[in-house]
């Protein structure tokens, strides 16, 4: 006969979360969250195609270079605004394409994005248990900013993947592997270098392991972007030129709030009221300071401090904060149901954004009109982010911005002398210039001159089955 104490132990044995769930346990929960993440991100994956500069202009900087690597261009991209790891990841899938395939690159981005959600789940789980992992994955799955950039062949979400994996390895005590992952994260995008701070925290007083991890981080970065050594002066100049532009600002942010308010606002639009739970997690982590707390908070703090130096407040800049904030949101087991309920709000926002991407971009319709109505070889001046119509000679108008020189081609008389007959402008640039005409008086005068002295031969604005900015074509 079993003793009474043994009977009591069996009777009151603690039950692990999910362990006896009829729904299949944590693996099923993770699978459902990954399926939700993939579904949200797959909608609109063909938006703006075949033109590669409509969904995100940066795709045009990455995908053609990845294609060229496997079509006679060799391994050297000769371009270092971003590191080259994402190009190398994309290159094998471009090998059988006769021209750069943006859809193929976006599918690769989607796979990496779903992997990022799984990595955030792992980070939450090793930090705060199975419930923490589930909440963290749910936050990452529905974050509207992550959803938006997950279907774009750009570096932002791959950096999220690298950050999540590196932080999870640090929390798990696998310092050397964490250094390797941090180097690969930096190979996706330069801000991954800030992972060295939580790496030091994770390896505090274990100086030999820290030294090995830092060496592995450097080696992993150089292995993923080897030509930064070959062209080190060019790479240094281009990398810091991008950082300087972000610190000077960008068109559209001239009258924005200060950086702390602006970036908190971006986080709110990504996470909704779940951001309050994440902020509470940061505060409690600063008070209790467990190993996981210190690692997560150290990265979040150093990265947010760097954001404070920027005047270009792009929403994508907050994405590296997603892994630590998502994990800290799952810190409170008792608040897990509340957090999951709050995530319904960013989920509805993400679905709303997805619906917009099921429509046709106005600029594609304008491109088809140009193909039908403008003779081949005609020279056309065009705003940034307009389609490159085959057969037309495009004179790109430079994007205005803080501290940038005025583009002399933004002058109707000069364009006429050059033989330019048509000018394509869009609300994506014009509306932002008009909103800051005190900063860009000459650019604003150019657009006003087109409206008053040139003949508008085509105009389309969004609405109904069309998305995107308004588009106008003027004949000089």
pLDDT in tens, 327-348: 999 999 999 999 999 999 999 9
Residues 380 and 450 in one domain: yes
Per-residue pLDDT, averaged over 432-461, amounts to 92
**Which structural domain, as residue segments, surrounds residue 48?**
25-356
- Cβ neighbours of residue 124 under 8 Å, at least 6 residues apart? 132, 133, 134, 135, 136, 137, 326, 327, 330
Q: Which of 46, 44, 53 is nearest to 367 (CA)?
A: 53
Q: Which of 250, 362, 361, 360 is nearest to 315 (CA)?
A: 250
Query: pLDDT digit string (tens) for 156-176?
Result: 999 999 999 999 999 999 999
Per-residue pLDDT, averaged over 389-418, amounts to 91
Residues 132 and 216 in one domain: yes
Report the largest interatomic distance among the alpha carbons of the chain, rounded to a whole angstrom: 104
Q: Which of 356, 372, 390 is the last residue of a domain?
A: 356
The rounded percent of the chain whose pLDDT value lies above 90 is 79
Residues 292 and 224 in one domain: yes
Domain assignment of residue 15, yes or no = no
The total number of structural domains that make up the chain: 2
Domain assignment of residue 274, yes or no = yes
- The pLDDT score that the predictor gives to residue 73 is 87
CB-neighbour burial class of residue 107 (10 A; exposed 0-12, middle 13-18, buried 19+): middle
CA atoms of 214 and 206, how far apart (whole Å): 12
CA atoms of 246 and 446, how far apart (whole Å): 26
- Give yes or no for a contact between 160 and 146, defined as CB atoms under 8 angstroms apart: yes
Residues 415 and 348 in one domain: no
Residues 193 and 267 in one domain: yes
- The pLDDT score that the predictor gives to residue 15 is 43
- The pLDDT score that the predictor gives to residue 22 is 53
Residues 75 and 141 in one domain: yes
Domain assignment of residue 20, yes or no = no
Residues 97 and 120 in one domain: yes
Domain assignment of residue 308, yes or no = yes
CA atoms of 444 and 449, how far apart (whole Å): 9
Average pLDDT, the chain: 92
Residues 255 and 373 in one domain: no
Q: Which of 200, 170, 197, 254 is nearest to 438 (CA)?
A: 254
Domain assignment of residue 315, yes or no = yes
**Cα 407 from chain centroid?**
29
CA atoms of 120 and 30, how far apart (whole Å): 11
Q: Which of 356, 384, 400 is the last residue of a domain?
A: 356
Query: pLDDT digit string (tens) for 1-14?
Result: 455 544 444 444 44
Residues 280 and 409 in one domain: no
Residues 464 and 426 in one domain: yes
Q: What is the model's pTM?
A: 0.91
Domain assignment of residue 231, yes or no = yes
Q: Which of 336, 356, 376 is the last residue of a domain?
A: 356
Q: Which of 317, 194, 311 is nearest to 247 (CA)?
A: 311
Higher pLDDT, 385 or 471: 471
Per-residue pLDDT, averaged over 390-400, amounts to 91
Question: Residue 372 above 70 pLDDT?
Answer: yes
- The pLDDT score that the predictor gives to residue 135 is 96
Structure tokens at 305: 């401090």
Residues 345 and 382 in one domain: no
- Cβ neighbours of residue 265 under 8 Å, at least 6 residues apart? 257
Query: pLDDT digit string (tens) for 251-305?
Result: 999 999 999 999 999 999 999 999 999 999 999 999 998 999 999 999 999 999 9
- The pLDDT score that the predictor gives to residue 28 is 87
Query: pLDDT digit string (tens) for 101-147?
Result: 999 999 999 999 999 999 999 999 999 999 999 999 999 999 999 99
Residues 244 and 303 in one domain: yes
């Amino acid at each position: 006969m079993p003793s009474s104490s043994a009977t009591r132990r069996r009777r009151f044995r603690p039950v692990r979360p999910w362990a006896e769930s009829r729904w299949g346990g944590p693996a099923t929960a993770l699978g459902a969250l990954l399926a939700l993440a993939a579904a949200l991100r797959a909608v609109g994956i063909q938006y703006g195609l075949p033109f590669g500069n409509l969904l995100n202009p940066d795709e045009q900087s990455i995908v053609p270079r990845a294609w060229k690597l496997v079509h006679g261009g060799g391994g050297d991209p000769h371009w270092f605004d971003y590191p080259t790891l994402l190009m190398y990841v994309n290159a094998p899938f471009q090998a059988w394409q006769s021209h750069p395939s943006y859809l193929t690159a976006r599918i690769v981005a989607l796979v990496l994005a779903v992997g990022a959600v799984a990595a955030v789940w792992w980070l939450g789980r090793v930090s705060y248990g199975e419930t923490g992992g589930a909440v963290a994955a749910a936050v990452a799955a529905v974050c509207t900013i992550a959803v938006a950039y997950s279907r774009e062949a750009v570096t932002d979400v791959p950096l999220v993947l690298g950050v999540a994996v590196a932080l999870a390895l640090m929390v798990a005590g696998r310092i050397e592997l964490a250094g390797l992952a941090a180097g690969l994260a930096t190979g996706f995008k330069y801000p991954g270098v800030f992972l060295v701070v939580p790496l030091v925290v994770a390896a505090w007083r274990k100086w030999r392991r820290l030294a090995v991890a830092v060496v592995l981080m450097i080696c992993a970065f150089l292995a993923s972007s080897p030509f930064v050594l070959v062209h080190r002066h060019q790479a240094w100049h281009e990398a810091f030129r991008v950082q300087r532009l972000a610190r000077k600002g960008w068109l559209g942010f001239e009258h924005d709030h200060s950086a702390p308010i602006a970036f908190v606002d971006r986080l709110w639009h990504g996470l909704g009221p779940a951001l309050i739970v994440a902020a509470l997690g940061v505060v409690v982590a600063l008070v209790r300071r467990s190993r996981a707390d210190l690692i997560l908070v150290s990265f979040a703090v150093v990265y947010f401090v760097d954001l404070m130096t920027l005047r270009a407040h792009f929403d994508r800049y907050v994405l590296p904060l997603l892994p630590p904030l998502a994990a800290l949101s799952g810190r409170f087991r008792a608040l897990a149901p509340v957090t999951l309920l709050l995530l319904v709000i960013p989920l509805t926002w993400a679905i709303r954004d997805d619906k917009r991407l099921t429509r046709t971009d106005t600029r594609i319709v304008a491109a088809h009109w140009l193909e039908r109505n403008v003779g081949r070889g005609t020279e056309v001046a065009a705003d940034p982010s307009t389609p490159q119509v085959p057969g037309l000679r495009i004179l790109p108008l430079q994007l205005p911005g803080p501290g940038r020189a005025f583009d002399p081609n933004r002058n109707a008389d000069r364009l006429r002398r050059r033989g330019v007959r048509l000018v394509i402008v869009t609300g994506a640039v014009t509306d932002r210039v008009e909103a800051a005409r005190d900063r860009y008086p000459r650019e604003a005068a150019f657009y006003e001159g087109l409206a008053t002295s040139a003949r508008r031969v085509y105009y389309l604005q969004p609405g109904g089955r069309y998305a995107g900015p308004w588009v106008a074509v003027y004949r000089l």
